[in-house]
Chain A
Amino acid sequence: MNPFRRSPFVLTAAVLVYIFLYAPIIGLVLYSFNASRANVTFEGFIPKYSDRIVMEGSLVKSSPCGPFHWYCELAKNNDVAEAAGNTLTIAFIATIISTIIGTMAALALQRYNFKMKPFSQLSLYIPIVIPEIVMGIGILTLFSQFFGWVNETFNLVGNARLSLGMATVTASHIAFMVPFVALVVQARLQGFDKSYEEAAMDLGANEWITFRRVTFPIILPGIMSGALLAFTLSLDDFVITFFTNGPGSTTLPIYVYGLLRRIITPQVNALSTVWILVVFVAVLLLQILQNRESKDHS
């Protein structure tokens, strides 16, 4: 049986599921051109270009950016820029740290035996089974109690006071990202053929060089997938960030949630569309790179 032959049932089902996945996205993008500021129903595209914004009630009649009015509004929005910057910074730093310590932990758990092992393994499973809200509230309580104690004992005032902010959010993100990295790398290590390492050692390499030249390149795809997964989780996180952020550390999900709760203008849709485009382009570039790489290798 040709495993590449696709039955019509599978094909139809696949198409339907893709439509299901993308219907809201298409709706989002379409509504980002909505002439109605209230964004409840679609009132058509903004037809005219003009020098200033002309509104009739909540309908935008004409605007300097024409149909792209909400994108221009988005570009002028400093809060969004700041939130986006924070989100990326936190995700980037947290991914790096969690990938490093997560890979280390995976190596330890897979290859060594040590007293702490069962405890380490168990603690890696906990963030996956724990509901985010429980984790968020617990971490908030912990930070608050700790900061309160430190601030009082050392009499810190003003800017020296410990308080919630970028650092606390990043630390919390690392806590829930590490298990995913560790599990993914661990899985990759399980299928690992030790004979490569043994061969290298036989040829005279010490452990560090063996790791760097043999082990590491082989598990790198696993590390990269783990890192990618962690990065995605951090970008999208709402609940935990909600409880651990402070002044100046608003992230995009928090900002969007607040915006949606009060005034739903098409600017939010414009933001989502831009976000999707950025991701799409990044992924496309990665694809091209990968194709070029496989061409080089073959």
Chain B
Amino acid sequence: MLQRLRESKSAQGTLLALPTTVWLFVLLIIPLFLTLIVSFGRRSPDGNVIYTFTFENYTRLFGYSTNCANGQPSCFDPLYVNILGRSLSLAFNTTVLVISLAYPLAYFIARAHPKQRNMYLFMVLIPLWTNFVIRVYAWMMLLRKEGAINIIIGWIAHFLHIPFTPFEMLYTPGAVLVGMVYEFLPFMILPIYTSLEKIDLSLYEAAADLGANAIKTFLRVTLPLSMPGVVAGTILVFIPVMGTFIVSDILGGRQVILVGNLIQRQFLDARDPTFGSAASLILMVMTLIVTYFYTRKFGFGEEIVVA
């Protein structure tokens, strides 16, 4: 048998890929399948699942409501659609902001002296190695009314003799955005850096020889070649933002409800696993759709290696 193994390439391939595939099948595919089944079920009075086949949860998610104001049999309730929309726009805004902050820094590191690059990279990674929740909590201390930022601005205002009332920054949607940007910034810096670093330096010489100035070089050479990094980074940022609930919980004063919060509530407080499963799957599908169109336009960026 060992002989046959040696000869058949396909058997070797299967054997190598087998542990991973089995692991993922059991711990991922099957749970997803279970979620799918549950999403077509109905909630029992105590919050358990009645296994049946109904589209109730999905229609409810997209606005079909029988509890209408003027006694109509059915109407459109945009509650959940709004939540989906809000999450999409937050994810979009976060991604745009993250790209605009990450790109200059990645550029800086890529153009730094080779011996120093690793140090700069690790300086980016170190905040990542504190704890996710602690980082969010740290922003609370900065943003609150008697927090560090207000104190510092207060000193400056006092110094300049300008009257100053502390800014209400915490527990606003703005705080959630700041928190999200902060959490996911390193995930964009690394891929962009990697793709920038790979750019062949001789291209710059060629561009200079052809008479291009700095801006033209950037737009025609650097930017297009760094796109795989931007794409990879976007995927690493956009998807988690869609599903996060901790940041909006802690920094938004539990008033900013995103899809992640909605799903978490369904499984815990509302005890409605059928609705929660439907929302989870819709979230996944939405993320997949956006990712698909994005990568179709810009390529997949899988040639990006982190570090």
Q: Do these two chains interact?
A: yes
List residues of chain A with CB under 8 Å of any chain B CB.
Answer: 1, 3-7, 9-11, 13-14, 17-18, 20-25, 27-28, 31, 40-41, 101-102, 104-105, 107-109, 111-117, 119-120, 123-124, 126-135, 137-139, 141-142, 145, 171-172, 174-175, 178-179, 182-184, 186-188, 190-191, 222, 225, 228-229, 232, 235-236, 238, 252-253, 256-257, 260, 264, 268, 272, 275-276, 279-280, 283, 287, 290
Among B27, B130, B186, B217, find the residue whose CB has the most chain A CB atoms closer than 10 A: B27
Query: Considering only CB atoms, which chain B residue lies closest to A126 in the complex?
Result: B28
Residue B264 interfacial (CB < 8 Å): yes
Which single member of B20, B128, B131, B273 contacts A178 (CB below 8 Å)? B20
Mark out the residues of chain B between 89 and 135 whose CB falls within 8 Å of any chain A CB in the assembled complex: 101-102, 104-105, 107-109, 111-113, 118-119, 122-135
Provide the residues of chain A in CB contact with B267, threshold 8 Å.
133, 137
The distance from the CB of B274 to the nearest CB of chain A, in whole angstroms, is: 12
Q: Are A25 and B138 in contact (CB under 8 A)?
A: yes
Residues of B within 8 Å of A4, CB to CB, are 111-113
Interface pair A27/B148, CB less than 8 Å apart: yes
By the criterion CB–CB under 8 Å, are A116 and B302 in contact?
no
- CA A281 – CA B1 in complex, angstroms? 50
Q: Give the CA-CA distance A62 to B30 in the complex, in Å.
A: 57
Q: Are B142 and A132 in contact (CB under 8 A)?
A: no
Contact partner of B246 (CB less than 8 A), chosen from A28, A182, A225, A238, is: A238
Q: Chain B interface secondary structure, helix, strand, loop or mixed?
A: helix
Q: How far is the CA of A133 from the CA of B130 in the complex (A)?
A: 21
- Tell me how many residues of B have a C-beta within 8 Å of chain A: 95
Choice from A13, A102, A236 contacting B128 with Cβ under 8 Å: A236
Cβ contacts under 8 Å, B287 to chain A: 129, 131
User: How far in angstroms is the closest Cβ of chain A from B26?
Assistant: 8
Least CB distance, B236 to chain A, in whole angstroms: 8
Asked whether B293 is an interface residue with its Cβ less than 8 Å from the other chain, the reply is no
What are 18 inter-chain pairs, A to B, with CB distance below 8 A?
A4-B111, A5-B111, A10-B111, A21-B185, A27-B142, A108-B14, A123-B28, A132-B240, A132-B243, A137-B280, A138-B30, A141-B31, A142-B30, A179-B24, A186-B302, A190-B303, A222-B305, A287-B122
For the complex, give the distance between the alpha carbons of A108 and B34 in Å: 29
A1 with B129: CB separation less than 8 A: no
Q: Is the CB of A116 within 8 A of B21?
A: yes
The answer to whether B139 and A24 have CB atoms under 8 Å apart is: yes
Partner of B138, one of A17, A28, A238: A28
Question: Is B177 an interface position by the 8 A CB rule?
Answer: no
Q: Which residues of A contact B135 (CB under 8 A)?
A: 24
- Closest CB in chain A relative to B153 CB, distance in Å: 13
Q: Does B68 contact A (CB under 8 A)?
A: no
- Per DSSP, chain A at the interface is helix
**0/1 string, B231-270, CB within 8 A of A gives 1:** 0000100011011011000000000000010011001000
Q: Are B31's CB and A135's CB within 8 A?
A: yes
* Known contacts A25-B130, A142-B34, A130 near B141 by CB under 8 Å: no
Q: Are B21 and A120 closer than 8 Å at their CB atoms?
A: yes
Quick one: CB contact mask for B8-33 with A, threshold 8 Å, 1 for yes?
A: 01111111111111011111111110
Docked pose: A14 CA to B123 CA in angstroms = 12
Q: Which of A14, A104, A108, A126 contacts B104 (CB 8 A)?
A: A14
B131–A236 touching, CB < 8 Å? yes
Alpha-carbon separation in the docked complex, A14 to B166 (Å): 28
List chain A residues, Cβ under 8 A from B280: 131, 133-134, 137
Query: In the assembled complex, which residues on chain A have CB atoms less than 8 Å from the CB atom of B104?
Result: 9-10, 13-14, 17
A109 and B264 alpha carbons, distance in the complex (Å): 36
| Residues from chain A with Cβ under 8 Å of B130 in the complex | 25, 28, 272, 275-276, 279
Give the distance to chain A from B5, nearest Cβ to Cβ, in Å: 11
In the bound complex, residues from chain A placing their C-beta under 8 Å from that of B223 are none
Interface contact A272-B284, CB-CB below 8 Å: no
Given A229-B306, A287-B118, answer yes or no on A127-B24 (Cβ-Cβ < 8 Å). Answer: yes
CA gap between A21 and B125 in the complex, in Å: 10
